[in-house]
Amino acid sequence: MPQKYSGSESTYRDSISKISRPGQSMNFGVQYFSKKNAFNAFSIGLSYTTLTFRRTQQNLILGDMIHPKVGIVSGLIQAANLTVKYDFRYKYIEVPLLWHKSAEGYGNLKEFDIWYFGGFAPAVLVRDRVHIFTEGFTTNGTNTFNVKDDDITPVRFNIIGQAGIRADYYMYKNLHGLLQPRIRVPLLPSTGGIQSVWIPQLSVDLGLIFLLDKTK
């Protein structure tokens, strides 16, 4: 808890949960996909991913603390309602290990391959930052800040469970398109201690598939 907070631990947990919401991010990666037979396949990948959540504080007044590394509300006040948005971002290197099961037989899918898949990804934290945006005022001549938050302890290693559907669209003989919605669920919270935050993620992957053997 913040050093000057005088309430109980449970009250503090409730107060931060009410102002915390899932955030948005972009993930990047490559994947090697190997068919074992017509109905089963395995893939291994390497991904650079971000788990994120947002907290918003409203109705701040002159002198309120924005963040220990930013300072207090000061400078040019431009609106009556002063707001601060905090985007907490945790960036990982992941190695997804996925097992795929063909959905062939569920309708006539001449132009698509449809697969169900599930698995997990060992993940190592490589960067954690909080991006701060002020609305209605500026501090030190700016309204954006990018700092490390020393009050929240991130989890350095995690396991991300994953499940979804993969659709391969035949574009050319050796080039396919990819549409892959999935849900990503961390085994552990992304942060520890009193400010423990668990960040599941719903994502939609778009990409290209290059066939190594030029056969369907």
Q: Which of 150, 191, 189, 134 is CA-nearest to residue 2?
A: 150
CATH number, domain with residue 186: 2.40.160
Domain-embedded: residue 79: no
- Structurally, the chain folds into a number of domains equal to 1
Least confident of 10-14, 41-45, 135-139: 10-14
Examine residue 136 and state whether it is found in any structural domain, yes or no.
Answer: no
> Does some domain include residue 80?
no
Is residue 137 within 8 A of residue 79, CB to CB? The reply is yes
Residue 116 lies in a domain: yes
pLDDT at res. 15: 46
Phi, psi of 58 (to 5 degrees): -120, 165
Q: Are 113 and 178 in contact (CB under 8 A)?
A: no
Structural domain contains residue 194: yes
In a domain, 137, yes or no: no
Residue 131 or 214, more confident: 131
- Given a cut of 70, whether residue 89 has pLDDT beyond it is yes
Each residue's pLDDT tens digit, 93-128: 999 999 999 987 554 456 788 999 999 999 999 999
Range of the domain at 38: 9-53+88-128+156-210
Q: Is residue 62 part of a domain?
A: no
